[in-house]
Amino acid sequence: MDPNPITDAAFSQRLRQMGIATPNPTMSNSSTASPVAGPSSHSVSRPTPQQNTTLNALDARQRIQEAVDVQSQNPSAGREYVDVGVLRQILAMRDRGSAAPDIEKRLRLKSGVVARVGPPGVIAPLSL
């Protein structure tokens, strides 16, 4: 069983005593570690979002948040992004037989939002 540093006080104390690990660079031909850490080693070149999946996801999240902010400033234009409550309303109205254009008009959504939810039966609201 792995020790848990949160619940095992002795293990947590040993970790604190050991402190932060410092890397020990190797001197092999394939090593990418620098044997001498100079002032220039502190400069970090960051990958572009296209090169890094995490940065790509964060960049997309930021673009979506900006679009939601613009949408909230002009609610009369119709909503494209909806919260869970509106999504639940869409599903409930669709299950009762309402047509997509009627749902979009009633909930003040942009045309095509209901279709992007997917065909009936793919997702459904959870009833507890």
Q: For residues 3 and 51, which has the higher predicted lDDT (pLDDT)?
A: 51
Residue 21: what pLDDT? 74
Q: How many Å apart are CA 107 and CA 88, to the nearest integer?
A: 12
pLDDT band at 72 (very low <50, low <70, confident <90, very high): confident
pTM above 0.85, yes or no: no
CB 66 within 8 A of CB 80: no
Question: Taking the domains of the chain in order of start, what are their residue ranges?
Answer: 48-77, 78-122
Q: What is the pLDDT of residue 3?
A: 61
Of these ranges, 3-7, 8-12, 38-42, 69-73, the one predicted with the greatest mean pLDDT is 69-73
